[in-house]
Amino acid sequence: MAGLCWMAVMVAFFLSAENSLAVDQNRLASFVNGILSQYGTQGMFSLAVSIPDNQNQNINTILQNIFQSDPPDNVRNVINNGQVYKGTRVVAAKVLKPTNGRPDHAESRVVDELDRFFRRSNPSDLLLFYVYASPCVEKCSSNTHQQSILERIKSISKWSNYAFVFSKIFKPRNGPTNTDEQRRGALERLGHSIGPENIFRCEWQCTSCSSGGNVANYCVS
């Protein structure tokens, strides 16, 4: 009987750990909303922000420190000119649309800078990786496409805490719209790379994309 009780306790523990979130959703929402209010721009864009998440410090104070180190006007000017912004606490980019060939997606351009960014960041910070729309099925979240981010984004785990956040569901401008199941598969593959508990959809409020071991419907439709 004692053995059965102990087994039940352990099962409950692992289920609890599996369903626990790495980042507080309310605190994350405050960071996301504050950062987008200053760094947000038109079109598809992506940001990586190393946040000194001191639990005893006011969130507005933390955000102001970030804005002072990487002035919003500087960030927007750089990325709106097609370049990758590489600052003290912020890396940012917009989708690059070359004259010939396929566009280089914003999140892919930011992911390329994660290793260098880590070397000038504090590993105890919260790394917020934001992209305007969820990773596309055909390229960014593909297991086979040469521009997939699935392997490269594993560098995010160098930070003690991290969150991958998107606001909108990606919908291709050209070609057929992806199904919910295709989008679900994309987030499952991303979850294999960075942990499903670290993926959120944030539109004013943040919702975890991990729900009972599955991808939450809100994150795919």
- 16 assigned to some structural domain: no
- Element (H or E) spanning 48, and its range? strand 45-51
Look at the alpha carbons of 127, 132, 135, 140 in this order and tell me if their dihedral is positive or negative: negative
> What is the domain count for the chain?
1
Q: Which residues pair with 210 in a beta bridge?
A: 215
- 151 assigned to some structural domain: yes
Checking if the pLDDT of 199 tops 90, the result is yes
Residue 156, C-beta contacts closer than 8 angstroms, at least 6 positions apart: 114, 127, 129, 162, 164, 194
Question: Considering the chain, what percentage of its residues have pLDDT values greater than 70?
Answer: 85
- 10 assigned to some structural domain: no
Q: How far are the Cα atoms of 11, 161, 184, 188 from residue 18, in angstroms, in the given order?
A: 11, 16, 19, 15
- 4 assigned to some structural domain: no
- 84 assigned to some structural domain: yes
What pLDDT was estimated at residue 175?
63
Range of the domain at 29: 23-219
CA separation for the pair 29, 207 (Å, rounded): 9
Checking if the pLDDT of 10 tops 90, the result is no
Rounded mean pLDDT of 115-123?
Answer: 92
Token pair in block for residue 159: 């930070």
Checking if the pLDDT of 61 tops 60, the result is yes
Checking if the pLDDT of 22 tops 80, the result is no
pLDDT digits (tens, 9 = 90+) for 125-138: 999 999 998 887 67
pLDDT digits (tens, 9 = 90+) for 137-159: 677 767 777 788 889 999 999 99
